[in-house]
Amino acid sequence: MNGKRGLVMGVANNRSIAWGIAKAVQAQGAKLAFTYQGEPLRKRVEPLANELDAVVVGHCDVTDPATIDAVFAETERQLGGLDFLVHAIAFSDKSELDGRYVDTTADNFSKTMLISCYSFTAVAQRAEKLMTNGGSMLTLTYYGAEKWMPHYNVMGVAKAALEASVRYLAADLGPKNIRVNAISAGPIKTLAASGIGDFRYILKWNELNAPLRRTVTIDEVGDTGMYLLSDLGRGVTGEIHHVDAGYHVVG
């Protein structure tokens, strides 16, 4: 990854999947820029960025397009362009990550789709302009997009749309040698995951039933991310790559 420049969106703390990916690509020589969402997260993200000699390009709330434009302008100013992008962002009201999907409100449906699905397309639009020598974009999804999972509800619907958008973006951007892929990660205890009902049960269930008889770590997701973001993955686009200890073959 020597000489490659990447923007990482979605680091909340050192348990974030985005952090696992950032560590893996930086270890191979990549230069990184981080965004943060809101002041409280700035204090968490800045020291992490320092650890990886990364720059912090500002606050980005993907529901506010002006903040997306601002962090991309700052990325261009500080890095001069982009070779890869990591999108590790999702949100839904906690009250609807429990109980039944059928009770989803229109308000939370829209919010979940905007933050967890459309935001990838929104950042891809900006990143395309900075990827003048081709590039690689990566987002994070979950098995709840493919199959019903307890409590995942509207997030499963948003992830299904996100996976479809990976395919459409891959087709649109492929002629510019920009690849677009997703990692479908197995359950990992992060801040976002703590909002999902009975998450500990889901972790245990995966541990007992996945072919490898365990769950995965952010470092394992990070290493796969490194492959997809680097030239090792140069023939791969439009792919949903499972990093889930094999759970998807049995679940």
Q: Tell me, what amino acid is at 170?
A: A
Nearest distance, CB of residue 207 and ligand 0WD, angstroms: 13
Q: Which residues are catalytic?
A: 142, 152
88 contacts 184 by C-beta, under 8 angstroms: no
The three-state DSSP-derived secondary structure of 30-97 is CEEEEEECCHHHHHHHHHHHHHCCCEEEEECCCCCHHHHHHHHHHHHHHHCCCCEEEECCCCCCHHHC
Please state the closest distance from residue 45 (CB atom) to ligand 0WD, in A. 8
Residues near ligand 0WD (CB under 6 A): 10, 12, 16-18, 37, 41, 60-63, 88-91, 115, 140-142, 185, 187-188, 190-193
Min dist. Cβ of residue 98 to ligand 0WD (A): 16
**Phi, psi of 185, rounded to the nearest 5 degrees:** -85, 145
Mode of pairing for the β-strands spanning 240-243 and 135-141: unpaired
In the complex with ligand 0WD, the residue whose CB is nearer, 148 or 235, is 148
Least distance to ligand 0WD, CB of residue 2, Å:
26
> In what side-by-side order are the strands of the sheet with 55-59?
55-59, 31-36, 5-9, 84-87, 135-141, 178-185, 240-243
Identify which of residues 4 and 111 has a Cβ nearer to ligand 0WD in the complex. 111
